[in-house]
Structure 1
Protein backbone atom coordinates (compact mmCIF):
# COMPACT_ATOMS: atom_id res chain seq x y z
CA UNK A 1 0.00 0.00 0.00
CA UNK A 2 1.35 3.39 -0.98
CA UNK A 3 0.74 5.82 1.84
CA UNK A 4 -0.02 9.39 0.85
CA UNK A 5 0.81 12.35 3.06
CA UNK A 6 -2.92 12.67 3.76
CA UNK A 7 -3.17 9.01 4.80
CA UNK A 8 -0.10 9.47 6.98
CA UNK A 9 -1.79 12.38 8.83
CA UNK A 10 -4.92 10.31 9.48
CA UNK A 11 -2.93 7.27 10.61
CA UNK A 12 -0.83 9.35 12.97
CA UNK A 13 -4.01 10.86 14.43
CA UNK A 14 -5.72 7.52 15.09
CA UNK A 15 -2.60 6.03 16.68
CA UNK A 16 -2.73 8.67 19.40
CA UNK A 17 -5.29 9.58 22.01
CA UNK A 18 -8.46 10.25 20.06
CA UNK A 19 -10.48 13.02 21.73
CA UNK A 20 -13.33 11.86 23.94
CA UNK A 21 -16.04 13.94 22.29
CA UNK A 22 -19.09 13.32 20.11
CA UNK A 23 -17.25 14.14 16.85
CA UNK A 24 -13.63 13.09 17.44
CA UNK A 25 -12.63 13.42 13.76
CA UNK A 26 -14.02 16.92 13.25
CA UNK A 27 -10.87 18.86 14.14
CA UNK A 28 -8.75 16.51 12.01
CA UNK A 29 -11.14 16.87 9.08
CA UNK A 30 -11.03 20.65 9.34
CA UNK A 31 -7.23 20.73 9.52
CA UNK A 32 -6.99 18.51 6.41
CA UNK A 33 -9.77 20.31 4.54
CA UNK A 34 -11.84 17.11 4.36
CA UNK A 35 -15.24 16.05 5.62
CA UNK A 36 -15.57 13.76 8.62
CA UNK A 37 -17.20 11.20 6.31
CA UNK A 38 -14.12 11.15 4.08
CA UNK A 39 -11.90 10.36 7.05
CA UNK A 40 -14.24 7.68 8.39
CA UNK A 41 -14.55 6.13 4.91
CA UNK A 42 -10.75 5.89 4.62
CA UNK A 43 -10.48 4.28 8.06
CA UNK A 44 -13.25 1.76 7.25
CA UNK A 45 -11.52 0.93 3.96
CA UNK A 46 -8.27 0.20 5.81
CA UNK A 47 -10.17 -2.01 8.27
CA UNK A 48 -11.89 -3.93 5.46
CA UNK A 49 -8.53 -4.52 3.77
CA UNK A 50 -6.95 -5.68 7.05
CA UNK A 51 -4.51 -2.78 7.19
CA UNK A 52 -6.06 -1.68 10.48
CA UNK A 53 -6.84 -4.67 12.63
CA UNK A 54 -8.98 -2.95 15.25
CA UNK A 55 -9.89 0.18 17.15
CA UNK A 56 -9.63 -0.30 20.88
CA UNK A 57 -9.83 1.51 24.15
CA UNK A 58 -6.75 0.88 26.24
CA UNK A 59 -7.61 0.80 29.90
CA UNK A 60 -5.17 2.17 32.45
CA UNK A 61 -5.82 -0.85 34.63
CA UNK A 62 -4.06 0.38 37.78
CA UNK A 63 -6.04 3.64 37.74
CA UNK A 64 -9.24 1.67 37.08
CA UNK A 65 -8.71 -0.39 40.24
CA UNK A 66 -7.16 -3.54 38.78
CA UNK A 67 -4.25 -3.58 41.21
CA UNK A 68 -3.54 -7.33 41.13
CA UNK A 69 -1.84 -7.93 37.79
CA UNK A 70 0.25 -10.92 36.85
CA UNK A 71 1.77 -12.82 34.00
CA UNK A 72 0.82 -16.45 34.45
CA UNK A 73 3.14 -18.94 32.78
CA UNK A 74 1.59 -22.33 32.01
CA UNK A 75 3.00 -25.66 30.80
CA UNK A 76 0.73 -26.57 27.89
CA UNK A 77 1.15 -29.55 25.56
CA UNK A 78 1.62 -28.37 21.97
CA UNK A 79 -1.37 -30.37 20.74
CA UNK A 80 -3.60 -28.71 23.36
CA UNK A 81 -2.41 -25.13 22.77
CA UNK A 82 -5.21 -24.02 20.43
CA UNK A 83 -7.98 -25.34 22.67
CA UNK A 84 -6.36 -23.96 25.83
CA UNK A 85 -5.79 -20.64 24.09
CA UNK A 86 -9.45 -20.33 23.09
CA UNK A 87 -10.57 -20.96 26.67
CA UNK A 88 -8.06 -18.65 28.32
CA UNK A 89 -8.58 -15.88 25.76
CA UNK A 90 -12.32 -15.98 26.52
CA UNK A 91 -11.73 -14.57 30.01
CA UNK A 92 -12.33 -10.82 30.12
CA UNK A 93 -9.59 -10.49 32.74
CA UNK A 94 -6.96 -11.90 30.33
CA UNK A 95 -5.55 -9.07 28.22
CA UNK A 96 -2.83 -11.14 26.54
CA UNK A 97 -2.53 -14.80 25.61
CA UNK A 98 0.64 -16.13 23.95
CA UNK A 99 2.15 -19.47 23.03
CA UNK A 100 5.94 -19.01 22.90
CA UNK A 101 9.08 -20.94 22.13
CA UNK A 102 10.93 -21.30 25.42
CA UNK A 103 14.06 -23.10 26.58
CA UNK A 104 13.25 -26.76 27.21
CA UNK A 105 14.49 -26.57 30.80
CA UNK A 106 12.01 -23.74 31.52
CA UNK A 107 9.03 -25.52 29.98
CA UNK A 108 6.39 -22.86 30.67
CA UNK A 109 5.35 -22.09 27.10
CA UNK A 110 1.94 -20.43 27.39
CA UNK A 111 1.52 -16.97 28.91
CA UNK A 112 -1.54 -14.99 30.01
CA UNK A 113 -1.58 -11.47 31.40
CA UNK A 114 -4.31 -11.33 34.04
CA UNK A 115 -5.85 -8.28 35.73
CA UNK A 116 -7.92 -8.47 38.92
CA UNK A 117 -9.07 -6.21 41.73
CA UNK A 118 -7.34 -8.16 44.50
CA UNK A 119 -4.88 -10.99 45.07
CA UNK A 120 -7.77 -13.18 46.19
CA UNK A 121 -9.64 -12.54 42.93
CA UNK A 122 -6.44 -13.28 41.03
CA UNK A 123 -5.97 -16.61 42.81
CA UNK A 124 -9.60 -17.65 42.20
CA UNK A 125 -9.41 -16.63 38.55
CA UNK A 126 -6.17 -18.55 37.89
CA UNK A 127 -7.57 -21.61 39.68
CA UNK A 128 -10.70 -21.42 37.52
CA UNK A 129 -8.61 -21.14 34.35
CA UNK A 130 -6.58 -24.18 35.43
CA UNK A 131 -9.76 -26.13 36.11
CA UNK A 132 -11.42 -25.09 32.83
CA UNK A 133 -8.38 -26.05 30.74
CA UNK A 134 -7.02 -28.96 32.74
CA UNK A 135 -3.62 -27.25 32.90
CA UNK A 136 -2.34 -27.68 36.44
CA UNK A 137 1.32 -26.73 36.08
CA UNK A 138 1.69 -22.95 36.20
CA UNK A 139 3.46 -20.13 37.97
CA UNK A 140 2.04 -16.71 38.81
CA UNK A 141 4.49 -13.87 38.24
CA UNK A 142 2.94 -10.84 39.93
CA UNK A 143 3.49 -7.29 38.74
CA UNK A 144 5.21 -5.21 41.39
CA UNK A 145 5.29 -1.87 39.59
CA UNK A 146 4.44 -0.62 36.12
CA UNK A 147 7.54 0.92 34.57
CA UNK A 148 6.33 1.49 31.03
CA UNK A 149 3.05 1.08 29.24
CA UNK A 150 2.46 2.74 25.91
CA UNK A 151 0.54 1.96 22.76
CA UNK A 152 2.67 1.25 19.76
CA UNK A 153 2.94 4.08 17.28
CA UNK A 154 4.36 3.15 13.93
CA UNK A 155 6.66 5.43 11.99
CA UNK A 156 5.38 5.73 8.44
Structure 2
Protein backbone atom coordinates (compact mmCIF):
# COMPACT_ATOMS: atom_id res chain seq x y z
CA UNK A 1 0.00 0.00 0.00
CA UNK A 2 1.58 3.26 -1.11
CA UNK A 3 0.84 6.93 -0.36
CA UNK A 4 -1.67 7.16 -3.22
CA UNK A 5 -3.59 4.18 -1.80
CA UNK A 6 -3.74 5.86 1.61
CA UNK A 7 -4.97 9.12 0.07
CA UNK A 8 -7.55 7.19 -1.95
CA UNK A 9 -8.83 5.41 1.15
CA UNK A 10 -9.13 8.72 2.98
CA UNK A 11 -11.23 10.05 0.11
CA UNK A 12 -13.58 7.09 -0.30
CA UNK A 13 -14.17 6.57 3.43
CA UNK A 14 -16.57 9.51 3.37
CA UNK A 15 -18.66 7.87 0.67
CA UNK A 16 -18.82 7.57 -3.06
CA UNK A 17 -21.03 9.99 -4.98
CA UNK A 18 -24.02 8.56 -6.81
CA UNK A 19 -23.17 9.81 -10.28
CA UNK A 20 -22.42 8.37 -13.71
CA UNK A 21 -18.69 8.76 -12.98
CA UNK A 22 -18.34 8.21 -9.23
CA UNK A 23 -14.54 7.92 -9.31
CA UNK A 24 -13.84 10.93 -11.55
CA UNK A 25 -13.43 13.39 -8.67
CA UNK A 26 -11.13 11.03 -6.78
CA UNK A 27 -9.03 10.50 -9.91
CA UNK A 28 -8.75 14.24 -10.47
CA UNK A 29 -7.77 14.93 -6.88
CA UNK A 30 -5.12 12.19 -6.96
CA UNK A 31 -3.83 13.00 -10.44
CA UNK A 32 -4.52 9.51 -11.79
CA UNK A 33 -7.05 8.02 -14.19
CA UNK A 34 -10.48 6.74 -13.19
CA UNK A 35 -9.39 3.27 -14.27
CA UNK A 36 -6.40 3.46 -11.94
CA UNK A 37 -8.73 4.42 -9.08
CA UNK A 38 -10.86 1.34 -9.83
CA UNK A 39 -7.80 -0.89 -10.19
CA UNK A 40 -6.31 0.35 -6.93
CA UNK A 41 -9.58 -0.24 -5.07
CA UNK A 42 -9.86 -3.75 -6.53
CA UNK A 43 -6.26 -4.49 -5.49
CA UNK A 44 -6.87 -3.13 -1.98
CA UNK A 45 -9.91 -5.37 -1.70
CA UNK A 46 -8.04 -8.44 -2.98
CA UNK A 47 -5.26 -7.72 -0.47
CA UNK A 48 -7.80 -7.55 2.37
CA UNK A 49 -7.17 -3.85 3.06
CA UNK A 50 -10.83 -3.04 2.41
CA UNK A 51 -13.62 -5.54 2.90
CA UNK A 52 -16.31 -4.33 0.55
CA UNK A 53 -18.21 -1.45 -0.98
CA UNK A 54 -21.74 -1.22 0.34
CA UNK A 55 -24.41 1.18 1.46
CA UNK A 56 -24.17 2.13 5.11
CA UNK A 57 -27.68 1.64 6.44
CA UNK A 58 -29.01 3.83 9.22
CA UNK A 59 -30.52 0.91 11.12
CA UNK A 60 -32.39 3.10 13.60
CA UNK A 61 -33.96 5.08 10.76
CA UNK A 62 -35.42 1.89 9.27
CA UNK A 63 -36.79 0.62 12.58
CA UNK A 64 -34.01 -1.63 13.87
CA UNK A 65 -33.83 0.14 17.20
CA UNK A 66 -32.95 -2.65 19.64
CA UNK A 67 -29.45 -3.94 20.12
CA UNK A 68 -27.86 -6.03 22.78
CA UNK A 69 -24.36 -7.03 23.66
CA UNK A 70 -24.61 -10.72 24.44
CA UNK A 71 -21.81 -12.11 26.56
CA UNK A 72 -21.22 -15.85 26.51
CA UNK A 73 -19.27 -18.22 28.75
CA UNK A 74 -17.81 -20.58 26.16
CA UNK A 75 -15.43 -23.41 27.06
CA UNK A 76 -12.01 -22.41 25.78
CA UNK A 77 -11.66 -25.54 23.66
CA UNK A 78 -14.92 -24.68 21.84
CA UNK A 79 -14.29 -20.97 21.24
CA UNK A 80 -13.36 -21.30 17.55
CA UNK A 81 -16.30 -23.53 16.63
CA UNK A 82 -18.86 -21.61 18.69
CA UNK A 83 -17.57 -18.22 17.54
CA UNK A 84 -17.93 -19.23 13.90
CA UNK A 85 -21.48 -20.49 14.47
CA UNK A 86 -22.49 -17.27 16.24
CA UNK A 87 -20.91 -15.12 13.54
CA UNK A 88 -23.15 -16.76 10.92
CA UNK A 89 -26.35 -15.36 12.42
CA UNK A 90 -27.51 -12.42 10.27
CA UNK A 91 -28.57 -10.44 13.35
CA UNK A 92 -25.01 -10.62 14.74
CA UNK A 93 -22.86 -7.72 13.55
CA UNK A 94 -19.83 -8.24 15.78
CA UNK A 95 -18.43 -11.39 17.35
CA UNK A 96 -15.25 -11.20 19.45
CA UNK A 97 -13.30 -13.40 21.80
CA UNK A 98 -12.18 -11.47 24.86
CA UNK A 99 -10.23 -12.45 27.98
CA UNK A 100 -11.91 -13.83 31.07
CA UNK A 101 -11.33 -12.19 34.45
CA UNK A 102 -11.60 -13.64 37.96
CA UNK A 103 -15.03 -12.08 38.50
CA UNK A 104 -16.12 -12.17 34.82
CA UNK A 105 -16.46 -15.62 33.20
CA UNK A 106 -17.61 -14.42 29.77
CA UNK A 107 -15.16 -14.76 26.90
CA UNK A 108 -17.24 -14.39 23.72
CA UNK A 109 -19.14 -11.19 22.90
CA UNK A 110 -21.72 -10.68 20.17
CA UNK A 111 -23.73 -7.63 19.16
CA UNK A 112 -27.28 -8.51 18.17
CA UNK A 113 -29.54 -6.05 16.35
CA UNK A 114 -33.29 -6.35 15.82
CA UNK A 115 -36.57 -4.46 15.91
CA UNK A 116 -37.41 -5.02 19.57
CA UNK A 117 -35.62 -6.15 22.73
CA UNK A 118 -37.80 -9.27 22.69
CA UNK A 119 -36.55 -10.08 19.20
CA UNK A 120 -32.95 -9.75 20.43
CA UNK A 121 -33.75 -12.15 23.26
CA UNK A 122 -35.22 -14.62 20.74
CA UNK A 123 -32.05 -14.40 18.66
CA UNK A 124 -29.96 -15.13 21.77
CA UNK A 125 -32.12 -18.19 22.47
CA UNK A 126 -31.61 -19.39 18.88
CA UNK A 127 -27.86 -18.87 19.22
CA UNK A 128 -27.88 -20.74 22.53
CA UNK A 129 -29.78 -23.64 20.96
CA UNK A 130 -27.44 -23.74 17.95
CA UNK A 131 -24.28 -23.75 20.08
CA UNK A 132 -25.33 -25.47 23.29
CA UNK A 133 -24.04 -22.50 25.30
CA UNK A 134 -26.49 -21.79 28.13
CA UNK A 135 -24.47 -19.36 30.27
CA UNK A 136 -25.03 -15.93 28.74
CA UNK A 137 -26.30 -12.46 29.57
CA UNK A 138 -27.70 -9.65 27.42
CA UNK A 139 -26.95 -5.96 27.91
CA UNK A 140 -29.27 -3.65 25.98
CA UNK A 141 -28.18 -0.26 24.71
CA UNK A 142 -30.08 2.68 26.09
CA UNK A 143 -28.51 5.53 24.16
CA UNK A 144 -26.01 5.90 21.33
CA UNK A 145 -23.38 8.57 21.86
CA UNK A 146 -21.22 7.77 18.85
CA UNK A 147 -21.14 5.26 16.04
CA UNK A 148 -18.51 5.43 13.32
CA UNK A 149 -16.25 3.10 11.47
CA UNK A 150 -12.49 3.27 11.80
CA UNK A 151 -11.15 6.41 10.12
CA UNK A 152 -7.77 7.04 8.55
TM-score (norm. length: structure 2): 0.89
- Residue by residue, what CA displacement relative to the aligned partner does 1:108-146 show, whole Å, maximum 9, x if unpaired? 111000000112211211111111110111110000011
Instruction: Check whether the contact 2:86–2:95 (CA below 8 A) recurs between aligned residues.
Output: yes
Cα distance, 1:54 vs structure 2: 3.6
Match runs of 1:24-63 below 5 Å: 24-63=22-61
Q: Secondary structure of the equivalent of 2:109?
A: strand
Mapped to 1, the partners of 2:95 and 2:19 lie a distance apart of 32
1:105 equivalent to 2:103? Answer yes
Alignment correspondent of 2:79: 81
What value does the CA root-mean-square deviation take over the aligned residues? Answer: 1.8
How many correspondences in the alignment?
A: 152
Structure 2, unaligned runs of 5 or more: none
- Residue by residue, what CA displacement relative to the aligned partner does 1:24-53 show, whole Å, maximum 9, x if unpaired? 212222333433211010111222233334
1:148 equivalent to 2:146? Answer yes
Structure 1 residue runs of 4+, over 6 Å off? none
TM-score (norm. length: structure 1): 0.87
Q: Residues 50 and 119 from structure 1, CA distance in 2 versus in 1: closer, same or farther, beyond 3 angstroms?
A: closer
